Amino acid sequence: MDHQALAREMRGLREQVTGITDTVVAAADGLLIAADTADSIDPEGLAALAAAGLGLARRTSEATDRGALQRTVTYGSRGCAAFYGVGDTALMVVLGDEGMDVDRLHTATQPTLRRIDLILTDRAAKAPEGV
């Protein structure tokens, strides 16, 4: 796995969307893969919580016949946390402050998630240009 490529993707997303404060990529079981977080954030704990929450959201979506889960967003008084599935084996958490444009985040995240999935599954070298 190319950790530098993951770091570039996480940094690139932060540069595209104003208000992103932290990002974490984790395996679906909650094990931390990569983090770009402030010292006040426990990336391992966040990865584990995100896996549990995303798993519950996926099951809820399936059980209620709503289709494949696209994302979940939790809003707090000082910002939000967005949780995205990365393929079938991983997830990404994006934390943002009160000023983060969540609609812009959802749009910017889609190509980033595809590239991260390629990196994690080691298909990046086999992917066609422009993916």
Q: How far apart are CA 35 and CA 75, in angstroms?
A: 21
pLDDT at 124 over 70: no
Structural domain boundaries in the chain: 3-122
The position carrying tokens 């519950």 is: 56
| pLDDT tens by residue, 68-120 | 888 999 999 999 999 999 988 899 999 999 999 999 999 999 999 999 999 99
The pLDDT of residue 88: 83
Q: Which of 55, 44, 35 is nearest to 95 (CA)?
A: 35
Total-model pTM: 0.87
The pLDDT of residue 99: 93
The pLDDT of residue 20: 97
Q: How far is CA 106 from the centre of its chain?
A: 10
Encoding tokens for residue 121?
């599954």
Task: Give alpha helix (H) positions in the chain.
Answer: 3-16, 43-63, 102-120
Q: How far apart are CA 102 and CA 123, in angstroms?
A: 29
The pLDDT of residue 129: 52
Which of 3.60.40.10, 3.30.70.120, 3.30.450.30, 3.40.640.10 is the CATH number of 3-122?
3.30.450.30
| pLDDT tens by residue, 10-58 | 999 999 999 999 999 999 999 999 999 999 999 999 999 999 998 899 8
